[in-house]
């Protein structure tokens, strides 16, 4: 795709990265087959192809409107489109750049800003969210029908979690919302992996990965560290895993495991703001494990 970036971003690191990504896109439309928002809404501007077009125009200096912001907001950042793209377009990274630019060049309504601030505060705090969810379930008959469906009648149980007994191990992040809303996901993954000869271990006290705040654009900036770094520093020494090591993570944990973008800056920041941490940047396909976690020492 031919691009002519505007002067304000052309020679910046983000501009160069965005241009390289844009030039890979051939607008073939394969991505629409796996995009959930396009499948539901049927609007090409709510597909990766359409959003890439909007971001291209924005990076070339076209006015940034609320309509542009709306279509980028609707993206789930599931990155399913990347699995069907024959050109290897890094859409997830491009939409991160686009959203940051949109937030800088548009202003949201007061109610929208307040709502996003509330979500950014409440959802990453698992205890707060669990209490709010319990209150919502208790008052379920009084809630609007749409919310009644979302909160459910009762909480589900996690189910059995096999003891760590295999040489091959994976780490699981409990996250902030999942333990209260869907605790069975990690437990089911643990049982499945146990049958495959892999032990799944949940990182103790991992906290929020930073995904929610990153998506809402009110965190993950220079000078702030993501709460997800607790899994990389909480008093534990990290070292490379065996080749079979991996992390089972939901889409919201994307900032924790992404390479060469947010995580590198955040890790350097963590070293500066907390003493005693020996932290290594994730790179080269390696993941890291805490030597002091149960079942992973040695």
Task: Identify any residues that bridge with 288 across adjacent strands, giving them in sequence order.
Answer: 240
Local confidence band at 122 (pLDDT 50, 70, 90 cut-offs): confident
Bridge partners (DSSP) listed for residue 172: 202, 248
Are 82 and 92 contacting, i.e. CB atoms less than 8 angstroms apart?
yes
> With 0-12 CB in 10 A as exposed, 13-18 as middle and 19+ as buried, what is 169?
buried
Candidates 39, 101, 92, 46; CA nearest to 72 is 46
Q: Are 143 and 246 in contact (CB under 8 A)?
A: no
Contact (CB, 8 A) for 248 and 170: yes
What CATH number matches the domain at 7-105, 3.40.50.620, 3.40.50.970, 3.40.50.720, 1.10.1060.10?
A: 1.10.1060.10
User: Confidence class of residue 217 from pLDDT cuts 50, 70 and 90?
Assistant: low
- Give pLDDT tens digits for 66-121: 999 999 999 988 899 999 999 999 999 999 899 989 988 999 999 998 988 888 88
Task: Please name which of 33, 98, 28, 95 lies closest in space to residue 60, comparing C-alpha atoms.
Answer: 98
Task: Tell me the per-residue pLDDT of 14-66, one tens digit each, with 9 for 90 and over.
Answer: 999 999 999 999 999 999 999 999 999 999 999 999 999 999 999 999 999 99
- Residue 183 or residue 24, greater confidence: 24
**CA 219-221-223 angle, 5° bins:** 110
Residue 203 has pLDDT above 60, yes or no: yes
Instruction: Work out whether strand 238-240 and strand 288-290 pair parallel, antiparallel, or are unpaired.
Output: antiparallel
Distance CA 20, CA 3 (A): 9
Any idea what DSSP says for residue 156? P
Highest mean pLDDT among 50-64, 141-155, 215-229: 50-64
Least confident piece of the model among 19-33, 57-71, 143-157, 165-179: 143-157
234-277 pLDDT, tens digit per residue, is: 333 333 333 334 444 444 434 444 433 444 444 433 333 333 43
**pLDDT for the residue 239:** 33
pTM of this structure: 0.68
* Kind plus residue range of the DSSP H or E element containing 81: helix 80-84
């Amino acid at each position: 795709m031919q691009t002519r970036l505007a002067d304000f971003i052309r020679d910046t690191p983000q501009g160069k990265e965005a241009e390289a990504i844009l030039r890979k896109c051939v607008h073939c439309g394969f991505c629409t087959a796996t995009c959930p928002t396009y499948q539901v809404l049927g609007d090409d501007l709510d597909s990766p192809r359409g959003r890439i077009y909007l971001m291209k125009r924005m990076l070339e200096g076209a006015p940034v409107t609320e309509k542009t912001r709306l279509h980028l907001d609707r993206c789930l950042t599931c990155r399913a489109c990347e699995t069907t793209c024959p050109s290897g377009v890094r859409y997830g990274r491009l939409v991160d750049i686009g959203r940051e630019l949109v937030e800088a060049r548009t202003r949201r309504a007061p109610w929208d800003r307040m709502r996003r601030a509330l979500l950014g505060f409440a959802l990453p705090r698992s205890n707060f969210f669990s209490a709010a969810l319990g209150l919502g379930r208790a008052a379920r008959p009084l809630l609007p029908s749409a919310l009644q469906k979302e909160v459910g009648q009762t909480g589900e149980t996690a189910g059995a979690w096999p003891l760590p007994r295999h040489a091959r191990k994976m780490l699981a992040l409990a996250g902030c919302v999942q333990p209260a809303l869907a605790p069975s996901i990690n437990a089911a993954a643990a049982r499945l992996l146990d049958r495959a000869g892999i032990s799944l271990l949940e990182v103790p006290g991992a906290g929020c990965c930073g995904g929610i705040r990153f998506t809402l654009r009110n965190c993950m900036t220079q000078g702030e560290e993501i709460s997800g770094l607790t899994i990389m520093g909480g008093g534990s020494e990290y070292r490379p895993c065996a080749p079979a090591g991996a992390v089972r993570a939901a889409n919201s944990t994307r900032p924790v495991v992404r390479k060469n973008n947010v995580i590198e800056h955040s890790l350097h920041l963590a070293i500066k703001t907390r003493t005693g941490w020996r932290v290594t940047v994730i790179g080269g396909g390696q993941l890291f494990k805490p030597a002091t976690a149960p079942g992973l020492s040695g």
